[in-house]
């Protein structure tokens, strides 16, 4: 075998794998390390396809004579450090605010860019995970975030894609996206009846865009969130701490999606406020307890919290024309 080009020819070869360390091999075995691991024993490491997490890099500290950073601590700063210069160039060329959509971000990147949650799969479990990602990235200061609606990899069923498109209509970043080699899965790729259901969810989104715009403005100027968990609004209600399959758009719109195959109703926790059905305006009769909401395939349950005016607009064929 050939040695690396910069080695002395007399030097013996040995493995170039990273040394065992708590940085490359954390005891909690992160999903990022073994998500694509085909080994039964899950042998992937955080350093796969990148530098050793234990590598030392950066400027030399004048006092200690040592490099200042471990790669484990700065790996995610690659995308972060490239985002602002890219945005500055785009704005200087176009004279417009523009939009960047990187996948490599870090805490605070949201002041310059959006983020999508990476390659997911067309699985009900991945649909549920997307809801956690939305909330977490809002905490990280990146409110313009979304997952690949209907999944990036694998082929979704029509029902799964309907339910996911219903949820995705309320993602801050709503984008149906999948790998090039798989069949199209956008709303227009399905049976007309399925397309109509997906379009109806998107029309609700377009109707609510003034509210979203206001939430993004507040996120930009005040550091608030666009998507938030129930316990943000009800911090003394301990039940809300474990709820992640419901989420709030701002403080007064609650989305309670269907995330299980074949389900036509959902168990929804109703916090201690007055809530109204989005479609009918009928008040919900319970507070601070669970109740069952009907959820036919054509509908995603949406509740409105009393005590606020939510601005809306007429929908059109897309975001631009809906303005």
In a domain, 94, yes or no: no
The CATH number given to whatever domain includes residue 150 is: 3.20.20.80
Residue 237 has pLDDT above 80, yes or no: yes
Co-location of 298 and 175 in the same domain: yes
- Assign 214 to helix, strand or coil: helix
In a domain, 108, yes or no: no
Tell me how crowded residue 317 is: count the other CB atoms within 10 A of its CB: 11
Mean per-residue pLDDT of the chain: 91
| pLDDT band at 78; cut points 50, 70, 90 | confident
Co-location of 181 and 42 in the same domain: no
| pLDDT band at 197; cut points 50, 70, 90 | very high
Highest-confidence segment of 9-13, 14-18, 49-53, 187-191: 187-191
Q: Which helix (H) or strand (E) holds 227?
A: strand 227-228
Q: What percent of the chain has pLDDT over 70?
A: 93
Q: Is 114 exposed, middle or buried (0-12, 13-18, 19+ CB in 10 A)?
A: buried
| pLDDT digits 0-9 by tens, 260-275 | 999 999 999 999 999 9
In a domain, 46, yes or no: yes
Question: Which range, of 19-28, 154-163, 170-179, averages the lowest pLDDT?
Answer: 19-28
Co-location of 60 and 129 in the same domain: no
Query: Into how many domains does the chain fold?
Result: 2
Co-location of 128 and 219 in the same domain: yes
In a domain, 264, yes or no: yes
| pLDDT digits 0-9 by tens, 36-50 | 676 667 778 888 878
In a domain, 205, yes or no: yes
Residue 9 has pLDDT above 70, yes or no: no
Q: Which helix (H) or strand (E) holds 266?
A: strand 265-270
In a domain, 320, yes or no: no
Answer with the one of 30, 47, 66 that is the final residue of a domain: 66
Co-location of 247 and 119 in the same domain: yes
Co-location of 50 and 163 in the same domain: no
Q: Which helix (H) or strand (E) holds 80?
A: helix 77-94
- Comparing CA positions, the residue from 268, 271, 300, 306 lying closest to residue 288 is 271
In a domain, 321, yes or no: no
| b/e per residue 186-222 (b: at least 16 CB within 10 A) | bbeebeeebbebbebbbbbbbbbbebbeebbeebeee
Q: Tell me the residue length of the chain.
A: 323
| pLDDT digits 0-9 by tens, 24-74 | 888 877 776 776 676 667 778 888 878 899 988 877 778 887 777 889 998
Q: What average pLDDT does the segment 223-227 reach?
A: 96
Co-location of 166 and 275 in the same domain: yes
pLDDT of 1 reads 44
pLDDT of 276 reads 98
Co-location of 121 and 57 in the same domain: no
- Torsion sign over Cα 312, 185, 168, 174: negative
pLDDT of 39 reads 67
Residue 302 has pLDDT above 60, yes or no: yes
Residue 177 has pLDDT above 90, yes or no: yes
In a domain, 310, yes or no: no
Co-location of 289 and 194 in the same domain: yes
Co-location of 59 and 139 in the same domain: no
pLDDT of 301 reads 99
**Is there a contact between 140 and 162 (Cβ–Cβ < 8 Å)?**
no
Supply 242's token pair.
């474990």
Residue 89 has pLDDT above 80, yes or no: yes
| pLDDT digits 0-9 by tens, 96-144 | 989 999 988 999 899 999 999 988 999 999 999 999 999 999 999 999 9
Phi and psi torsions of 57, nearest 5°: -150, 175
pLDDT of 6 reads 55
Co-location of 16 and 157 in the same domain: no
Co-location of 221 and 299 in the same domain: yes
Q: Residue with structure tokens 């897309």? A: 318
**Is there a contact between 160 and 124 (Cβ–Cβ < 8 Å)?**
yes
Q: Residue 29's domain spans which residues?
A: 1-66
pLDDT of 285 reads 96
């Amino acid at each position: 075998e050939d040695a690396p080009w910069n080695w002395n020819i007399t030097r013996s070869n040995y493995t170039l794998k990273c040394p065992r360390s708590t940085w490359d091999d954390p005891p909690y075995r992160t999903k990022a390390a073994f998500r694509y691991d085909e080994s039964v024993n899950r042998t992937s490491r955080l350093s796969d396809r990148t530098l050793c997490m234990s590598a030392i890099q950066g400027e030399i500290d004048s006092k200690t004579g040592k490099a200042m950073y471990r790669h484990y601590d700065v790996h995610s700063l690659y995308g972060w450090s490239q985002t602002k210069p890219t945005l500055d160039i785009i704005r200087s060329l176009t004279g417009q605010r523009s939009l960047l959509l990187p996948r490599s971000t870090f805490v605070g990147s949201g002041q310059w860019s959006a983020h999508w949650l990476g390659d997911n799969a067309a699985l009900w479990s991945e649909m549920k995970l997307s809801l956690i990602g939305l909330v977490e990235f809002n905490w990280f200061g990146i409110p313009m975030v979304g997952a690949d609606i209907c999944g990036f990899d694998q082929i979704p069923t029509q029902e799964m894609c309907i339910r996911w498109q219903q949820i995705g209509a309320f993602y801050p970043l709503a984008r149906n996206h999948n790998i090039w080699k798989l069949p199209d899965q956008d709303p227009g790729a399905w049976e007309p009846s399925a397309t109509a259901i997906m379009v109806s969810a998107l029309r609700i989104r377009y109707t609510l865009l003034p509210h979203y715009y206001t939430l993004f403005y507040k996120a930009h100027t005040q550091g608030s969130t666009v998507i938030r968990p129930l316990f943000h609004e009800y911090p003394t209600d301990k039940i809300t701490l474990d709820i992640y399959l419901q989420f709030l758009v701002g403080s007064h719109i609650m989305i309670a999606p269907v995330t299980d195959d074949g389900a036509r109703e959902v168990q929804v926790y109703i916090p201690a406020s007055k809530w109204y059905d989005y479609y009918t305006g009928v008040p919900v009769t319970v507070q601070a307890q669970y109740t069952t909401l009907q959820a036919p395939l054509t509908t995603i349950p949406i509740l409105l919290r009393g005590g606020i005016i939510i601005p809306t607009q007429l929908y059109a064929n897309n975001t631009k024309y809906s303005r």
